[in-house]
Structure 1
Amino acid sequence: MADKVLHDTDGSGQDRPWREKKSGSINYSAYKADIVYLTVDEHMQVDELRKIARIEGCGQTLSFVKTDKGMKLYQTWFCKKRLCPLCAWRRSKKQAMELHQILDLAVEQEPNAEFLFLTLTEENATAQDLKTELQNMNRSLYRLRQYKDVSRDLIGTVRATEITVNDQNGTYHQHVHMLL
């Protein structure tokens, strides 16, 4: 009997890129390993090598079950590391689904509500100033929500902080995307 290649598709019928994401996690673990071997502290090396092994083994085995809607991921083991490409992809899929459910509920409860998409940005920051700048941005958002007019008119907000890197001068561009 010939082996059958199974495909995992999303709701629109597109194949999910498991192979691409898995190869990304393998590349990321190799990159981390190169950095770890440069460290001097042996205890730190052992701890980091365990983390690297988790990343490398992330999503190594995927078990699917057949349902009436198609294939569904049944069992696997993920490393749950923030920068692992496979885990980051799955986390973004989960967050998108949760946002969809929240927006459906908001529309149901407030059918006349209007949604606004707001992007707040600042000047680029250096690596040393990035943490302080992000704290200032978060405090400013908190103060914005405290204004009477704003708090009265808002049903709620969803936000995501994004940081991009300017490779030319090594600065970081921090900005917030908000759905009001």
Structure 2
Amino acid sequence: MENVTASTSVHSSEIIALEQPRDGLSDYSPNDVPWDIHRGQSDDVGGIYASALEFERYAARMSDCGGLLLFGWVLNPETSVNALRLRTAYFCRVRHCPVCQWRRSLMWQARFHQSLPQIVLEHPKARWLFLTLTVPNCPIGELGATLTAMNAGWNRLQARKELKAVIGWVRTTEVTRSAIGEAHPHFHVLLMVPPSM
């Protein structure tokens, strides 16, 4: 695994830059084991990109992803305790970078959780339904076509009069791998519906 840079040099009274080579972020913070896992996966995906000439630039960007992390002290208003929080970092934003995908999913989770109280205030009697939609497993080479067909199917489902009463929804696409290496694409949907539905 590529070393994540770290240092204890102080740039200001609030920001600490980490620039000393080390094995992983979890060496300094046990809560950051997921970072090390995603960073290792990013190295693996970057290696695959590096093997194809037309994708070498993605591999180069991914090798630098998360290489510089700047932390700052932030006061937690609930506990009145100062804690280090990530202030600045370089992320590659390559679509299939595991680190960037993970951080993107965390961002969307945070946005949803922040908006949830207002949604509940506006629709206090609404009910929530969790729906999983799936299709038969497909070979990895057919995954793009399968996802395109699934998205078209979702659009057709939304257009049905039976679902016009749905107040709102949040949908995510997940692709897992079967024991024999096939792709298992599926949608997870959280539907907000009226109490009568």
Shift in CA distance, 27/171, structure 1 to aligned 2, threshold 3 Å: closer
Q: What is aligned with 2:127?
A: 114
State the shift of 1:122 in Å.
Answer: 1.4
Q: What is aligned with 1:173?
A: 184
Shift in CA distance, 53/137, structure 1 to aligned 2, threshold 3 Å: closer
Shift in CA distance, 127/65, structure 1 to aligned 2, threshold 3 Å: closer
Runs of 5+ consecutive residues of structure 1 not aligned to the other structure = 9-13, 37-44
TM-score by length of 2: 0.69
Q: What is aligned with 2:4?
A: none
Q: The residue matched to 1:112 in structure 2 has which SS?
A: coil
TM-score by length of 1: 0.75
Could you tell me which amino acid in structure 1 is paired with residue 89 of structure 2?
Answer: T
State the shift of 1:82 in Å.
Answer: 2.3
C-alpha distance in structure 1 between counterparts of 2:59 and 2:141, whole Å? 27
Q: What is aligned with 1:51?
A: 58
Aligned CA RMSD, in angstroms, stands at 2.8
C-alpha distance in structure 1 between counterparts of 2:43 and 2:124, whole Å? 46
Q: The residue matched to 2:32 in structure 1 has which SS?
A: coil
Q: Percent identity?
A: 35
C-alpha distance in structure 2 between counterparts of 1:103 and 1:88, whole Å? 22
Could you tell me which amino acid in structure 2 is paired with residue 139 of structure 1?
Answer: A
Q: What is aligned with 1:15?
A: 31
Could you tell me which amino acid in structure 1 is paired with residue 36 of structure 2?
Answer: R
Q: The residue matched to 2:66 in structure 1 has which SS?
A: coil
C-alpha distance in structure 1 between counterparts of 2:38 and 2:140, whole Å? 28
Shift in CA distance, 26/138, structure 1 to aligned 2, threshold 3 Å: closer
Q: What is aligned with 2:44?
A: 27
State the shift of 1:29 in Å.
Answer: 2.2
Q: How does 1:148-167 map to 2 (within 5 A)?
A: 148-152=161-165, 154-167=166-179
State the shift of 1:128 in Å.
Answer: 5.0
C-alpha distance in structure 2 between counterparts of 1:66 and 1:32, whole Å? 37
Runs of 5+ consecutive residues of structure 2 not aligned to the other structure = 1-7, 10-17, 19-24, 77-82, 192-197
Could you tell me which amino acid in structure 2 is paired with residue 118 of structure 1?
Answer: L
C-alpha distance in structure 2 between counterparts of 1:151 and 1:94, whole Å? 29
- The size of the alignment, in residue pairs, is 161
